[in-house]
């Protein structure tokens, strides 16, 4: 083989291996992208101004699942307030004895979906439900829990308001019992004072350092305070400060609506309140 033919042969080999490497890179890239799309599709969030991933027709039964930790998930439902579409967050805590639910989805139909998905996804029975105040985005599904004889716990003020508003009957044990054991986990409830509503409570998960702020806490992208019909705008900042000083080691903070984050959500809520009070 002369020098030129040898060089051509080498060129050919290196060109084909270059193509091979390019094909390999493309395949890896494509599968990573595919994988990424699969992960994010389950945890897409919806802020009021974004287009809805679920069409109007299945809105009333759609539910999203967002994993915070292996044992703690957000159940996210959708509802309308003031002509705008909002998402509402509740929690599902998985223990070795069963699941605990914090707040029901926004409608009864979404609560039916919650029941079936807790069965299918997690193979758990529901131990009890905690409701964090007497509004429909927290309590609409309470009658369905009652039909299944699942205990529903609240404070006595929430129980009183719920009865007046026709949200069903709750057992007001949370005034006396603020720490609830649930299998290998536990929940603590705390009433920080009048904020979004007179009866708003927060839920602390000591094992995972997750704080469910409910409607007392706004998401970082919230530009206003949402439904303030029953709010006490002067007391609300103090209530959030009490939560901040009680749970300074919270790693995750879940608001009633919008995306979860860290303790900044509490500081952001105080900022919104201070600017709305001036
Ligand atoms: Zn509310």
Q: CATH code at 220?
A: 3.60.15.10
Mean pLDDT for the chain? 85
Answer for the pair 141, 75: CB distance below 8 angstroms, yes or no. no
Mean pLDDT lowest for which of 43-47, 143-147, 175-179? 43-47
Exactly one of 196, 199, 200, 259 is catalytic; name it.
196
Q: Is 268 a catalytic residue?
A: no
- In this structure, is residue 254 part of a structural domain? yes
- In this structure, is residue 47 part of a structural domain? no
Q: Which domain holds residue 31?
A: 1-35
208-227 pLDDT, tens digit per residue, is 999 999 999 999 999 999 88
Both tokens of residue 114? 């919650």
DSSP assignment of 198-256: TT--EEEETTTTEEEEETTS--TT--S----TT--TTTHHHHHHHHHHH-TT-SEEEES
Return the residue matching tokens 């599709």. Answer: 41
- In this structure, is residue 51 part of a structural domain? no
70 & 14 share domain: no
77-107 pLDDT, tens digit per residue, is 998 877 888 899 999 999 999 999 999 999 9
262 & 166 share domain: yes
- In this structure, is residue 164 part of a structural domain? yes
70 & 124 share domain: yes
* Residue 113: pLDDT over 70: yes
Question: Phi, psi at residue 209, to the nearest 5°?
Answer: 55, 40
> Distance, CA 232 to ligand 1 centroid (Å)?
12
86 & 145 share domain: yes
Q: Is 196 a catalytic residue?
A: yes
> Distance, CA 100 to ligand 1 centroid (Å)?
21
Pick the closest to residue 162 from 212, 197, 189 (CA basis).
Answer: 197
- In this structure, is residue 226 part of a structural domain? yes
251-265 pLDDT, tens digit per residue, is 999 999 999 999 999
18 & 115 share domain: no
179 & 74 share domain: yes
Domain count for the chain, please give it.
2
> Distance, CA 77 to ligand 1 centroid (Å)?
14
Pick the closest to residue 68 from 250, 242, 222 (CA basis).
Answer: 250
139 & 213 share domain: yes
20 & 136 share domain: no
- In this structure, is residue 53 part of a structural domain? no
66 & 17 share domain: no
231-240 pLDDT, tens digit per residue, is 999 999 999 9
> Distance, CA 136 to ligand 1 centroid (Å)?
7
* Residue 13: pLDDT over 80: no
- In this structure, is residue 235 part of a structural domain? yes
- In this structure, is residue 49 part of a structural domain? no
Q: Is 221 a catalytic residue?
A: no
77 & 24 share domain: no
17 & 105 share domain: no
pLDDT bin (cut points 50, 70, 90) of residue 36 is: very low
Q: Is 227 a catalytic residue?
A: yes
> Distance, CA 188 to ligand 1 centroid (Å)?
20
134 & 25 share domain: no
């Amino acid at each position: 083989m002369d020098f030129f033919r040898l060089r051509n042969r080498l060129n050919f080999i290196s060109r084909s291996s270059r193509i091979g490497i390019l094909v390999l890179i493309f395949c890896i890239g494509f599968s990573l992208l595919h994988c990424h799309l699969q992960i994010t599709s389950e945890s897409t969030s919806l802020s009021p101004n974004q287009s809805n991933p679920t069409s109007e027709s299945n809105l009333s039964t759609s539910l999203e699942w967002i994993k915070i930790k292996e044992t703690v998930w957000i159940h996210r439902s959708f509802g309308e307030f003031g002509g705008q579409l909002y998402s509402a967050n509740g929690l599902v805590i998985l223990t070795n004895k069963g699941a605990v639910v914090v707040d029901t989805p926004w409608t009864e139909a979404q609560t039916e979906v919650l029941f079936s998905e807790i069965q299918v996804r997690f193979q758990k029975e529901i131990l009890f439900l905690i409701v964090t105040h007497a509004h429909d985005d927290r309590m609409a599904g309470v009658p369905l829990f009652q039909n299944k004889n699942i205990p529903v716990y609240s404070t006595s003020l929430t129980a009183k308001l719920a009865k007046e508003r026709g949200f069903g009957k709750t057992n007001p044990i949370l005034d006396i019992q603020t720490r609830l054991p649930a299998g290998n986990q536990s929940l603590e409830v705390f009433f920080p004072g009048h904020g979004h509503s007179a009866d708003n409570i927060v839920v602390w998960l000591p094992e995972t350092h997750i704080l469910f702020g409910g409607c007392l806490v706004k998401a970082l992208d919230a530009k206003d305070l949402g439904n303030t019909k029953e709010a006490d705008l002067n007391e609300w900042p103090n209530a959030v400060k009490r939560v901040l000083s009680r749970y300074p080691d919270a790693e995750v903070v879940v608001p009633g609506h919008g995306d979860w984050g860290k303790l900044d959500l509490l500081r952001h809520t105080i900022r919104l309140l201070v600017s709305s009070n001036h």
